[in-house]
Amino acid sequence: MFLTISTTGSAESPATDLGFLLHKHPEKAQAFSTSYGTAHVLYPEADAERCTAALLLEVDAVALVRRGKGKGRGGAPDAALAQYVNDRPYAASSLLAVALSGVFSSAMRGVCNARPHLPAQPRPLRVEIPALPARGGPGLVGRLFAPLGWTVTAEPVPLDTEFPQWGDSRYVSLRLEADTLTLAEALRHLYVLLPVLDDAKHYWVASDEVDKLLRAGEGWLPGHPEQQLITSRYLSRRWSLTRQARERLELVRLAEADDSDVEAIDNAVGAETEQEERPTPLAVQRREAILTALRSCGAARVLDLGCGQGQLVQQLLKDPSFTEIAGVDVSVRALTIASRRLRLDRMGERQSARVSLFQGSLAYTDKRLKGYDAAVLSEVIEHLDPPRLPALEYAVFGAARPGTVLVTTPNVEYNVRWESLPAGHVRHGDHRFEWTRAEFRAWARKVAERHGYTVEFVPVGPDDPEVGPPTQMAVFRTGSAKEEKAA
């Protein structure tokens, strides 16, 4: 991993002042041991006109694995070998950022005891990184650095120069140039944005990462147009941390925008204390989204198709506006557990009159499914083999025809955000497929069209700017359901 920082000299400050700023003498080659290997600092050129400092990180892949810090890229079937044989020794990555902050920590903080006036002065700077992993490509590199005052040259690195037809690798060769920035600002940009571009932290993301991000992002991150992507990727998409960071950045923005806007700041502070609770499990968020949708269409008689172990039925029972609730599943075992969960045998008469559980397959039309206001298919369709889907579609939308149908299913695009999910795997062993947002929408729109429903889509869980929410929900309504509501 290799990075150079160059500057040119002026009448007030020779280029070799870079050595004072970095606290590293231009005439010496120095080595520092870090927890991942050895960082070398050397100066390929150093005179009054031009001075270049190089940071070379020799990663010890074996030590990295032994320290248990190889996490992050693993997961694929060949992960065991990939721990040792990978691009880490050659490509700039989060490790380079860590080394940067370790070796140049005073420079990053803008401290220079020998020449105290230097750190605050912007000077011509040029940063070069020959191999930078950049998920998002040269376009994203530009969107990240250009708003900060850098002139960006990012060239994709071909997979193999001998075989241009193989296309580009995920690396770019990067050159950044600016003359309006201080060295401390430049280092802080790199410290945050290199791991953001690499998008695979090689060490465990602890909660103090939020503090590190906000410290390094001071003065530039709050107003950055890609702030959302930066915080989310920097924090390895840990939702609770990302939310914490965004709320704190919002506070900074409000404080900078208008000191007198006390009410808005109070509200943001309220939000900040709330977020310290644990994030709500996705299954709970899903049930909440379903309940909200059912209430908003005014449904009283509700079918839970593929009810599984009865968690949603249990929630529905708590709300008296749902007067009749039926859970249907093909699995007798699931229904037995559901019945125990609901304590059906010990339920009072009034309650037990509201609820029924019965066995049935959604692949067949069933008279018992008729006459309901709404039906829910929560995480069910992906359990059917695709050739069986038209049968389910007909049984629900063609024959049973409730006024509202809610269908939820995983959004496969989001799978890259699950830390524990190996690349290319589905979330559950029994899932026959998982759809992208486009695939789900295409299916749902066709179903709606064939059976005279309208359809809208609602995200469930954090709606990630790049890959969307973890769960996608379609809300189908018949024309008559809409008219009833309007009446």
Residues within the interface to ligand SAH (CB under 6 A)? 306-308, 311, 329-331, 334, 361-363, 378-380, 383-384
For ligand SAH, which is the closer residue by CB, 45 or 393?
393
CA distances in angstroms from 347 to 252, 300, 316, 339, 424, listed in the order given: 53, 20, 15, 11, 45
For ligand SAH, which is the closer residue by CB, 13 or 378?
378
Q: Are the C-beta atoms of 55 and 48 separated by less than 8 Å? A: no
Residue 424 Cβ vs ligand SAH, minimum distance, rounded to whole Å: 22
CA distances in angstroms from 111 to 39, 162, 313, listed in the order given: 21, 47, 62
For ligand SAH, which is the closer residue by CB, 209 or 382?
382
Residues making up the chain, counted from first to last: 487
For ligand SAH, which is the closer residue by CB, 228 or 315?
315
Query: Parallel, antiparallel, or unpaired for β 151-158 and 168-178?
Result: antiparallel
Residue 311 Cβ vs ligand SAH, minimum distance, rounded to whole Å: 6
For ligand SAH, which is the closer residue by CB, 315 or 454?
315
For ligand SAH, which is the closer residue by CB, 357 or 481?
357
For ligand SAH, which is the closer residue by CB, 355 or 362?
362
| Terminal Cα-to-Cα distance of the chain (whole angstroms) | 68
Residue 287 Cβ vs ligand SAH, minimum distance, rounded to whole Å: 8
Q: Are the C-beta atoms of 40 and 30 separated by less than 8 Å? A: yes
Residue 384 Cβ vs ligand SAH, minimum distance, rounded to whole Å: 6
Residue 477 Cβ vs ligand SAH, minimum distance, rounded to whole Å: 20
Residue 124 Cβ vs ligand SAH, minimum distance, rounded to whole Å: 59
Query: Parallel, antiparallel, or unpaired for β 50-59 and 125-133?
Result: unpaired
Which residue number is nearest to ligand SAH in terms of Cβ? Answer: 308
CA distances in angstroms from 364 to 32, 330, 443, listed in the order given: 69, 11, 20
For ligand SAH, which is the closer residue by CB, 41 or 362?
362
For ligand SAH, which is the closer residue by CB, 111 or 283?
283
Residue 286 Cβ vs ligand SAH, minimum distance, rounded to whole Å: 7
For ligand SAH, which is the closer residue by CB, 98 or 389?
389
For ligand SAH, which is the closer residue by CB, 63 or 330?
330
Q: Give me the sheet containing 404-410, strands edge to edge.
A: 355-359, 324-329, 301-305, 374-378, 404-410, 471-478, 453-460
For ligand SAH, which is the closer residue by CB, 30 or 336?
336
**Per residue in 120-154, is it b (16+ CB within 10 Å) or e — as a string?**
eeebbbbbbbbbbbbebebebbbebbeebbbebeb
For ligand SAH, which is the closer residue by CB, 159 or 337?
337
Residue 229 Cβ vs ligand SAH, minimum distance, rounded to whole Å: 31
Residue 49 identity (one-letter amino acid): E
Residue 367 Cβ vs ligand SAH, minimum distance, rounded to whole Å: 16
Residue 303 Cβ vs ligand SAH, minimum distance, rounded to whole Å: 11
Residue 230 Cβ vs ligand SAH, minimum distance, rounded to whole Å: 34
Residue 435 Cβ vs ligand SAH, minimum distance, rounded to whole Å: 15
Residue 362 Cβ vs ligand SAH, minimum distance, rounded to whole Å: 4
